[in-house]
């Protein structure tokens, strides 16, 4: 799907980048901008906030790791979304409808193959060979309407095989990458899913990217449930079964239930609970939790009432701690042993299931109940063991307000000053790790300050890109990128600065441009023109002076190896070289 560029621009102009980042990080206002601890280095646990967010330009810039971008690029990196998913998420925040146009380029072959397989499985379910599967679904109380909504299917075990059918449409290499086929010892390809009820796993766009398959009759040496392996289009830890279907009912649901199995999702849906997702045959991950929090702030964890379900619930607590915000509500529903969501709602009905949500246990209550169970808190030793258990989990909370609340409560429970414990642990780290991060770029550099000045002038007064002053920039110099930035502005005179940022290819240049975007210095058009003139003159002068200095050092036999390479590059970038310079290049190469 292709999204028109003008829609992207309208979206970025409409969305508030501070609110987008605030959903994921603690943000503080400082002057005319906002600051946050950068999530892209040090695991998001730096001591001081180094990421500046500038509402006016809709951009952010980290002064430590130099990560820079707009709301779309932030979501892509922070939430690990592709471009389309990030755009859809932003659009959903403000209720904008994405205009869908067909892309000129073809969709990834693996997705095409899985979509085609989904069609075949659905068709086979309605054929004679799928009768037993339909009977099974009916026995489980699943209607034809629900089966159709989830696009359930049946994988035939008889000829022709899925591989035989699809090999007429796709080559074998493409089929191998789809995850639908295996290879036996004789080098022959076979269908991974045979004689199974099929659950298509769809991404947020509705494409089938993987499958789960369930045996209806136990077979020797075969697992009851079989899932697709990871492929180019399917990464287990990011995908959730049923999320696409939930959003077909409600783009921004009030709450979402997280369950273990495919049939739990479908069984709940059949009984009127249409906001449940499952973790696609893998442990519930932090990436999946983060994905759900993009669409709702209220989550109910409802795992099976067995030991494995209890362990999975606690892993969810561990994964959730870094993602907690003031507006996040994560609660746990603990079923009786032997129960699962599907069996419970079938036996007790929708109202009883919804009452479980009302009586659910909040994450904080679950955390502190578990903390109290670690040991005998009436003894110093017991309180120490409980504190040791809690410290790494509380430290992982990125939201400072929530972290302080947990520190205070843990201090009361264990009768220990947690603030000092955590502070002491951080001090140890600083002693053991005395090395400071080296800035990527020397901020005192005259060159960089000149580039920043030109970028600031263009950002605030884009029409200055038409100035003839840019003709003074040597196209063979290291600053030829200035001409590329100028051309972008001339080609897109009305584009927002956050859009211009996305059009810059070179990462280093993009980072400097991002730094200019978060500058709070205001300059008039007249001053901006003077700044461009002065900075371009300084760049041109500095560049030619550098060449003369290096030549002088060469004549005195004082050039270092790195300076030799620098001088070579300066000369080689020239359109024409003098005879002296040609001789110099030969000498530099041989020396």
Same structural domain for residues 189 and 204? Answer: yes
Residue where a domain stops, chosen among 94, 124, 142: 94
Q: Is residue 155 part of a domain?
A: yes
Residues of the chain with confidence (pLDDT) below 70: 1-2, 100-108, 280-282, 424-445, 541-546, 575, 591
Give the Å distances, CA to CA, from 315 to 277, 297, 319, 386, 387.
17, 19, 6, 18, 19
Residue where a domain stops, chosen among 319, 334, 359: 359
Which tokens go with 432?
Answer: 């053991």
Same structural domain for residues 276 and 382? Answer: no
Residue 302 sits in a domain whose CATH number is 3.40.1360.10
User: Where would I find the beta strands (DSSP E) of 180-247?
Assistant: 181-183, 189-191, 196-202, 208-215, 225-227
- Residue 431 in contact with residue 423, Cβ under 8 Å? no
Query: What angle separates helix 525-555 from helix 579-590, to the nearest 10 degrees?
Result: 60
pLDDT in the model for residue 258: 96
pLDDT in the model for residue 426: 54
Same structural domain for residues 327 and 282? Answer: yes
Domain that holds residue 426: 374-432
pLDDT in the model for residue 424: 66
Same structural domain for residues 296 and 275? Answer: yes
What residue has token string 């699943």?
142
**CA–CA separation, 450 and 436 (whole Å):** 27
Which candidate, 45, 42, 20, 5, places its Cα nearest to that of 400? 45
Same structural domain for residues 315 and 259? Answer: yes
Residue 36 sits in a domain whose CATH number is 3.90.580.10
Same structural domain for residues 228 and 114? Answer: yes
Around 135, how many Cα atoms within 13 Å sit in the side-chain half-sphere? 8
Same structural domain for residues 552 and 470? Answer: yes
Q: Is residue 589 part of a domain?
A: no
Same structural domain for residues 84 and 167? Answer: no
Q: Is residue 591 part of a domain?
A: no
Judged by DSSP in three states, 213 sits in strand
Same structural domain for residues 264 and 344? Answer: yes
pLDDT in the model for residue 443: 31
Domain count, the chain: 5
pLDDT in the model for residue 282: 60
Same structural domain for residues 319 and 423? Answer: no
Q: What is the torsional sign of CA 208, 212, 216, 222?
A: positive
pLDDT in the model for residue 565: 80
Full DSSP string of 364-428: HHHHHHHHHTSS-TTSHHHHHHHHHHHHHHHHT---HHHHHHHHHHHHHHHTS-HHHHHHHHHHH
Same structural domain for residues 59 and 73? Answer: yes
User: What does DSSP assign to residue 444?
Assistant: T
Give the Å distances, CA to CA, from 444 to 405, 439, 530.
41, 11, 21
Q: Is residue 565 part of a domain?
A: no
Whether cis (ω within 30° of 0) applies to the bond prior to 160 is: yes
Residue where a domain stops, chosen among 326, 359, 392: 359
Q: How much of the chain is helix, strand and coil, in % rounded to 5?
A: 50, 10, 35
Same structural domain for residues 295 and 247? Answer: yes
Which tokens go with 266?
Answer: 């479908």
What residue has token string 């509402």?
55
pTM for the full predicted model = 0.67
Around 343, how many Cα atoms within 13 Å sit in the side-chain half-sphere? 11
- 181 forms beta bridges with 191
Residue 389 sits in a domain whose CATH number is 1.20.50
Q: Is residue 114 part of a domain?
A: yes
Which tokens go with 69?
Answer: 């971008």
Residue 551 sits in a domain whose CATH number is 1.10.860
Full DSSP string of 166-195: HTTTS-HHHHHTTTSEEE-TTS-EEES--S
Which candidate, 182, 324, 340, 160, places its Cα nearest to that of 261? 340
Judged by DSSP in three states, 218 sits in coil
Q: Is residue 365 part of a domain?
A: no
Cβ neighbours of 486 (radius 10 Å): 21
Three-state secondary structure readout of 252-312? CCCCEEEECCHHHHHHHHHCCCCCEEECCCCCCCHHHHHHHHCCCCEEEECCCCCHHHHHH
Q: Is residue 580 part of a domain?
A: no
Q: Is residue 211 part of a domain?
A: yes
């Amino acid at each position: 799907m292709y999204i028109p560029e003008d829609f992207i621009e309208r979206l970025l102009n409409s969305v508030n980048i501070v609110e987008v980042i605030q959903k994921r990080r603690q943000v503080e206002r400082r002057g005319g901008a906002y600051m946050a601890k950068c999530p892209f280095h040090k695991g998001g646990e730096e001591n001081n906030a180094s990421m500046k967010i500038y509402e006016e330009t809709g951009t952010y810039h980290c002064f430590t790791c130099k990560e820079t971008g707009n709301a779309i690029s932030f979501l892509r990196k922070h939430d690990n979304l592709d471009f389309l998913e990030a755009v859809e998420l932003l659009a959903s925040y403000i209720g904008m409808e994405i205009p869908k146009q067909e892309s000129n380029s073809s969709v990834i072959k693996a997705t095409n193959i899985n979509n085609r397989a989904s069609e075949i499985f659905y068709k086979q379910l309605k054929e004679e060979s799928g009768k037993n599967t339909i009977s099974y679904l009916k026995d489980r109380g699943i209607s034809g309407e629900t089966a159709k909504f989830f696009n359930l299917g049946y994988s035939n075990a008889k000829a022709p095989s899925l591989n035989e059918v699809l090999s007429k449409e796709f080559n074998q290499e493409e089929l191998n990458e789809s995850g639908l086929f295996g290879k036996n010892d004789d080098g022959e390809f076979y269908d991974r899913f045979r004689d199974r009820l099929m659950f298509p796993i769809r991404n947020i766009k509705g494409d089938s990217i993987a499958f789960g398959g369930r045996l209806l009759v136990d077979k020797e040496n075969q697992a009851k449930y079989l899932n697709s392996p990871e492929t180019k289009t399917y990464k287990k830890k990011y995908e959730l079964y049923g999320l696409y279907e939930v959003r077909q009912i409600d783009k921004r649901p009030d709450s979402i239930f997280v369950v273990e199995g495919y049939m739990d999702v479908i069984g709940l849906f059949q009984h009127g609970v249409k906001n449940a997702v499952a973790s696609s045959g893998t442990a519930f991950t932090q990436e999946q939790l983060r994905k759900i929090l993009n669409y709702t702030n209220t989550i109910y964890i409802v795992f099976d009432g067995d030991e494995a379900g209890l362990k999975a619930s606690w892993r969810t607590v561990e994964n959730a701690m870094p993602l907690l915000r003031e507006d996040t509500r994560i609660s746990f529903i603990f079923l009786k042993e032997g129960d699962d969501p599907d069996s419970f709602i079938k036996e007790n009905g929708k109202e009883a299931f919804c009452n479980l949500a009302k009586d659910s246990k909040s994450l904080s209550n679950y955390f502190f109940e578990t903390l109290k169970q670690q040991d005998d808190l009436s003894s110093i030793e017991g309180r120490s063991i409980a504190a040791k258990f809690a410290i790494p989990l509380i430290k992982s909370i990125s939201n400072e307000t929530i972290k302080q609340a947990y520190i205070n409560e843990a201090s009361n429970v264990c009768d220990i000053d947690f603030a000092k414990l955590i502070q002491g642990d951080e001090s140890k780290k600083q002693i053991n790790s005395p090395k400071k991060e080296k800035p990527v770029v020397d901020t005192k550099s005259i060159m960089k300050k000149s580039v920043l000045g030109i970028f600031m002038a263009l950002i605030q007064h884009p029409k200055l890109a038409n100035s003839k002053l840019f003709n003074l920039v040597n196209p063979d110099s290291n600053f030829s990128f200035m001409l590329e930035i100028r051309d972008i502005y001339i080609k897109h005179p009305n584009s927002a600065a956050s859009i211009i940022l996305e059009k810059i290819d070179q990462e280093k240049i993009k980072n400097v441009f991002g730094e200019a975007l978060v500058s709070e210095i205001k300059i008039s058009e007249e001053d901006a023109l003077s700044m461009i003139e002065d900075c371009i003159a300084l760049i041109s002068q500095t560049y030619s002076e550098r060449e003369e200095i290096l030549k002088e050092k060469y004549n005195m036999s004082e050039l270092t190896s790195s300076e030799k390479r620098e001088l070579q590059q300066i000369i080689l970038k020239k359109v024409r070289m003098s005879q002296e310079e040609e001789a110099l290049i030969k000498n530099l190469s041989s020396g």
